[in-house]
Structure 1
Amino acid sequence: MGIIIFLLIIGAGAGFIATRVMDLETDVVTTVAIGVLGAIIGGLILRFVATVIGWLGGFVGAVLGAVLLIWLYQKYGPKR
C-alpha cells in the first residue's frame, strides 16, 4: 500500500510540473495519471538507454584493452 501512495505523490508532482511546462490545464486525476504513466514510460526509456550505453561502454573498454595489449606486446614482446 505504501508504494501506491508513493507513486501517487511522485505522480502528482511530476504531472504538475509536466502540465505547467507544456502549458496544459487538467484536473487533479488527469495530472496524477500523466505523472504516473510518464514515470513508467520514462523509466523504461532510461533503462533502455542505460543498457545501450553500458554495451557501448563495454565495447569501448574492450577496444582500449586490446590496443593496450598490442602496445605492450610491441614494446616488450619478442624482438624481430
Structure 2
Amino acid sequence: MQIVALIIIGAAAGFIATRAMRLETDIPTTIAIGVIGALIGGLILRVLLTITGWMAGFVGAVLGAMALIWLWRRYGPR
C-alpha cells in the first residue's frame, strides 16, 4: 500500500514541479521525477533531522522563507 501512495504522491509532486519549472514531460517521466524527488527530499530531511535536530526546523523555515521571497519576486505584483 505504501508503494501505491508513493506513486500517487510522486505523480502529484512531479506534476507540480514540472509545471512550476515549465518543463514539458510525458506522464511516466513526470511520475518518475516526483517519486525520485520525494525519495531524495525525504532522505535529505531525515539526515538533517538526525544530525541537527531542532536546527533542521530552523533551516527549513529559512529555506521556506527564501522560496516565498523568490516566488514573490517572480510572480508578485510589478
Task: Using structure 2 for the length normalisation, give the TM-score.
Answer: 0.64
- Residue number in structure 2 paired with 1:30: 29
Structure 2 gap ranges (5+): 56-78
Task: Using structure 1 for the length normalisation, give the TM-score.
Answer: 0.63
Please list every run of at least 4 consecutive aligned residues from structure 1 whose deviation after the TM superposition is greater than 6 angstroms. Answer: none
Structure 1 gap ranges (5+): 57-80
- Residue number in structure 2 paired with 1:8: 7
**Aligned-residue CA RMSD in angstroms?**
1.6
Give 1 or 2 for the bigger CA radius of gyration: 1
Identity %: 65
List per-residue Cα deviations over 1:21-53 (Å, max 9, x = no partner): 111000000000000000000001001111122
Matched residue count? 55
